[in-house]
Structure 1
Amino acid sequence: MRSHSAPAGMHPREFVTFIAALMGVNALGVDLMLPALADIGRDLFVTEANHRQWVVTVYMVGFGIGQLVYGPLADRFGRRPILITTLVGFVAASIFAASSATFEALLAARLLQGLMSASTRVLAVAIVRDGASGRQMARTMSVAQMIFFIVPILAPTLGQGLLALGPWRFIFYALGMFAAFVLAWTLVRLPETLPVARRVPISIASLKQSYRLTLSNRFSVGYAAAASLTFGGIIAFVSSAQQIFVDEFGAGQRFAVLFALCAGAMGMASFANSRLVERLGTRLISQSAVLALIFLSVVHVLVIEWGWETLISFMVFQALSMTCIGLCGANFGAMAMEPVGHIAGTASSIQGFITSIGAVLVGSAIGQSYAGTTLPLAIGYLAIGVAVLVLVYFIEGGQLFRPRMEPR
């Protein structure tokens, strides 16, 4: 098994762990406060339960918009200075969130957190792409995501632990402390991965060319759009999980454990993908996962309609659906980057914007449809699966399950 391509001075295992920690800044930014949403709503006088979901979705809006900025900056000035600056900004935004006196102020702080954490997604992809491509890139990202998915497994439990020690504001201080740790790791261990010779000056002409190359390539924009749909399924679950587990199934004390089991399924899927992708290829794995998601969603809708839905049935279907989504994410991302690796920073920004904003729209539409049952989530997953399958069919020129030549 080939080793992961790491920057000079970093062991491959340290590099993968660093990428996972970098991605973890964003994961904690989404998941750590989930157990506190009810406390936040009560403390800041949020009367409508579904409005608490905006603590997650506003963050993701900032996350999506910010990605448009950091790619060109990283291609011009290098990866390190942009990452250092935005991690400092994330720490400041976390302190702002912790001191918020109104729900509107908290949402503003969350928007700023999202804007700052957007660099972690862009630069994680760009730094990995600086040294790898194709199946090797997918394998590296899968291993990083496997470690990264431990974060949502542990995050609600950590959030509940912080709530046991003090008010919900402690959670935002903890976010700032973790970002400060990653900042210190960056300063001490991460070298610059983009040589001066490969840097691209920022100009209208160069940006137009990069946007044209990224948006005119059907694999680049198509797989970014496919990733946005599957990511939207994650946002829909995350934003409504507290209501489903606590309000619908009355599993308040077990929320962290139940959420962890569903998130853990994605971690196992990423682990499996990291072991299989170089042998089977990104297309075979992701397309099989999409078909499985459609089948699971159809059965889940029928179970709900027939009145058989229980906490156990929901857990089974949700975990299996998250497994399918986990098998799509890293592979869609790697395939989207294949034809635009020479402009990895800007391309990652554009693709990240498409993926994140599209996911917010999809996830919010499903999450805000919650009305006391899991049916909107099941129907949403079915719609996502069908839409992704149709999209992939057109991306691949009407050919499914036919492996193309992929960089190894």
Structure 2
Amino acid sequence: MVRAAADLQADVIDPPALPGDLMSLRQRVRLVVVLGSLIAVGPLTIDMYLPALPALTADLETTSTAVQLTLTGTLVGLALGQLVIGPIADAYGRRRPLLAGLALHVVASALCVVAPSIGVLGALRVVQGLGVAAATVVAMAVVRDLFSGTAFARLFSRLMLVMGLAPILAPTVGSAVLEATSWRGVFVVLGLFGVALMLTALFALRETLPPARRRRGGAVDTVRTYGALLRDRVFVGMVLVAGFAMAAVFSYVAGSSFVFQDQYGLDERQFGIAFGAGAVGLIAATQLNVRLLRRWTPQRVLVAALTGGTAAGALLVVFAATGFGGLATLLAALWLVLFSGGLAMPNASAVAMTRHGEAAGTAAALLGAVQFGTGALAAPLVGVLGNDGLGMATVVAGGMVAATLALLLVVRPHRIAEPEVAPAAVPVAA
């Protein structure tokens, strides 16, 4: 693994100065807050109703597996929506697709409030995911418009500090809403947050993709661009690494409510605290990553993170299977896995996005689609395996193992001898 990191280090070269390099500290802080808020709508939409899942199951007279599929529906919407929004954002700029997506999210949230059945709720959650996809893609594309290489990884780590607060606050806010109303009130709050984001995007986010850099080749150019991205082995490998790491995180998200509340007997407030502890691990890792990048490349940090995450995943399975140490050891192992994921995801994303700045929207779309697509596939596996600690631990650990294998078998850093300059990899539409 050490040799792999050393060989991979030569693969990505930081490009010349980009607009973000000329920004003041105050401007960067403002950018992080705005983009972090946009990305946060995804975790909030996914996580805020987690404390309500057992109550929602009873209210709609359905099963826990069916309720988990509403989470899967959101992830499917996020994955598919990004594949559509990415090329649109490259063709028409960042702001218009963003505002349209946020409007769709607001409408879907309002309809979730009055959903009469689990089937209708699941369908509306897919629509919510489609709306959230615009915020996710545009935020990533804006970062790539302004930064690249190590600068991208550093800013993305700062960005994760802001958006990392969402998983901590979401279950707590959801629990507070449940004390005053039912699970339907959660979607009222999400709708109001969407309105606030629309106003923020309208007045605080300028366009970062000038007309001269927009791609207007239509469907043919979109297919060509996706094809070129998929032919870039390093890009594909890094996307898979980020995707499998995200699958580990979403397996935790999908199973935590049932494991902590049903198996270990925590109430809704205690669940919010326990769930937030995992999010603290993610945040701590992303902020440590900024310091690590002052001494090491994103590639080296990525290899170390995956090594530690795989080892922590193995411990998690052992603790879940044996019951050793009870909830305390389970939480500790989960914290270590999430900490490793917090190091792996921004660095894998940085390496992938640095290679294709001329198609940042489409590249961000493919990256996001794989991340949320693998999350959508992993989440129901926890339910299939029993919605208990061992089922959740197995899928979480499997995600970290798969991420490590993707790095070694797809990226194959030990075979890369010469730097590859990625911007020429994707043809630019005439």
Shared fold per TM-score greater than 0.5: yes
> Normalised by the size of structure 1, how large is the TM-score?
0.93
- 1:16 and 2:24 are equivalent in the alignment: no
Unpaired stretches in structure 2, ≥5 consecutive residues: 1-16, 423-430
Q: 1:371 corresponds to which residue?
A: 386
Q: 1:45 corresponds to which residue?
A: 61
Q: What's the CA shift for 1:309?
A: 4.5
Q: Matches of 1:260 and 1:337 in 2, distance apart?
A: 29
Q: Matches of 1:372 and 1:209 in 2, distance apart?
A: 42
Q: Matches of 1:301 and 1:244 in 2, distance apart?
A: 14
Q: What's the CA shift for 1:64?
A: 0.4
Q: 2:214 corresponds to which residue?
A: 199
Q: Amino acid of the residue matched to residue 257 of structure 1?
A: I
Q: What's the CA shift for 1:95?
A: 0.3
SS of residue in 1 equivalent to 2:384: coil
SS of residue in 1 equivalent to 2:295: helix
Please, which of 172, 180, 187 is the counterpart of residue 172 of structure 1?
187
Q: What's the CA shift for 1:245?
A: 0.5
Q: What's the CA shift for 1:146?
A: 1.3
Please, which of 288, 297, 314 is the counterpart of residue 281 of structure 1?
297
Mark the CA change 1:404 to 1:386 in structure 2 (over 3 Å): closer, same or farther: farther
SS of residue in 1 equivalent to 2:86: helix
Q: What's the CA shift for 1:248?
A: 0.7
Q: Matches of 1:301 and 1:8 in 2, distance apart?
A: 46
- 1:59 and 2:74 are equivalent in the alignment: yes
- 1:131 and 2:146 are equivalent in the alignment: yes
Q: Amino acid of the residue matched to residue 279 of structure 1?
A: R
Q: Amino acid of the residue matched to residue 260 of structure 1?
A: G
Please, which of 350, 354, 365 is the counterpart of residue 338 of structure 1?
354
The two structures, once aligned, show a CA RMSD in angstroms of: 2.4
Query: Are the equivalent residues in 2 in contact too, given 1:70–1:349 (CA < 8 A)?
Result: yes
Q: 2:327 corresponds to which residue?
A: 311
Q: Matches of 2:21 and 2:259 in 1, distance apart?
A: 41
Mark the CA change 1:292 to 1:400 in structure 2 (over 3 Å): closer, same or farther: farther
Q: 1:393 corresponds to which residue?
A: 408
Q: Amino acid of the residue matched to residue 193 of structure 1?
A: T
Q: What's the CA shift for 1:143?
A: 0.5
Query: Are the equivalent residues in 2 in contact too, given 1:71–1:345 (CA < 8 A)?
Result: yes
Q: Matches of 2:144 and 2:202 in 1, distance apart?
A: 20
Q: 1:326 corresponds to which residue?
A: 342
Q: Matches of 2:419 and 2:265 in 1, distance apart?
A: 48
Q: Amino acid of the residue matched to residue 397 of structure 2?
A: L
Q: What's the CA shift for 1:398?
A: 4.5
Mark the CA change 1:248 to 1:186 in structure 2 (over 3 Å): closer, same or farther: same
Q: What's the CA shift for 1:8?
A: 10
Q: Matches of 1:400 and 1:95 in 2, distance apart?
A: 52
Q: 2:254 corresponds to which residue?
A: 239
Q: What's the CA shift for 1:149?
A: 0.8
Query: Are the equivalent residues in 2 in contact too, given 1:27–1:151 (CA < 8 A)?
Result: yes
Query: Are the equivalent residues in 1 in contact too, given 2:20–2:146 (CA < 8 A)?
Result: no
Please, which of 349, 362, 367 is the counterpart of residue 365 of structure 2?
349
Mark the CA change 1:78 to 1:6 in structure 2 (over 3 Å): closer, same or farther: farther
Q: Matches of 2:304 and 2:420 in 1, distance apart?
A: 18
Q: What's the CA shift for 1:219?
A: 1.6
Q: Matches of 1:403 and 1:135 in 2, distance apart?
A: 19
Q: What's the CA shift for 1:113?
A: 0.3
Mark the CA change 1:10 to 1:177 in structure 2 (over 3 Å): closer, same or farther: farther
Mark the CA change 1:402 to 1:302 in structure 2 (over 3 Å): closer, same or farther: farther
- 1:360 and 2:376 are equivalent in the alignment: yes
Q: Amino acid of the residue matched to residue 313 of structure 1?
A: T
Mark the CA change 1:89 to 1:251 in structure 2 (over 3 Å): closer, same or farther: same
Q: Amino acid of the residue matched to residue 268 of structure 1?
A: A
Mark the CA change 1:403 to 1:233 in structure 2 (over 3 Å): closer, same or farther: farther
Q: Matches of 1:171 and 1:118 in 2, distance apart?
A: 20
Q: Amino acid of the residue matched to residue 64 of structure 1?
A: A
1:96-115 map, 5 Å: 96-115=111-130
- 1:189 and 2:204 are equivalent in the alignment: yes
1:220-239 map, 5 Å: 220-239=235-254
Unpaired stretches in structure 1, ≥5 consecutive residues: none
1:307-354, Cα deviation, whole Å (9 max, x unpaired): 414111111111111001111111111111122111111121122222
Q: Matches of 1:236 and 1:401 in 2, distance apart?
A: 33
Q: 2:50 corresponds to which residue?
A: 34
Q: Which stretch shifts more, 108-117 or 332-341? A: 332-341
Q: How many residues align?
A: 404
Q: Matches of 1:402 and 1:302 in 2, distance apart?
A: 39
Q: What's the CA shift for 1:5?
A: 4.7
Q: Which stretch shifts more, 354-363 or 332-341? A: 354-363
- 1:296 and 2:312 are equivalent in the alignment: yes
Q: What's the CA shift for 1:399?
A: 2.2
- 1:146 and 2:161 are equivalent in the alignment: yes
Q: Which stretch shifts more, 247-256 or 385-394? A: 385-394
Q: Matches of 2:412 and 2:325 in 1, distance apart?
A: 39
Q: What's the CA shift for 1:295?
A: 1.3
Query: Are the equivalent residues in 2 in contact too, given 1:234–1:363 (CA < 8 A)?
Result: no
Q: What's the CA shift for 1:16?
A: 0.5
Q: Amino acid of the residue matched to residue 163 of structure 1?
A: L
Q: 1:73 corresponds to which residue?
A: 88
SS of residue in 2 equivalent to 1:279: coil
Q: Matches of 2:150 and 2:177 in 1, distance apart?
A: 39
1:207-257, Cα deviation, whole Å (9 max, x unpaired): 132112211001211111111111111111111111010011111241111
1:258-316, Cα deviation, whole Å (9 max, x unpaired): 11111111011111112222431111111111111121222233334444141111111
Query: Are the equivalent residues in 2 in contact too, given 1:5–1:12 (CA < 8 A)?
Result: no
1:91-134, Cα deviation, whole Å (9 max, x unpaired): 11110111111111111111100011111111111011001111
- 1:91 and 2:106 are equivalent in the alignment: yes
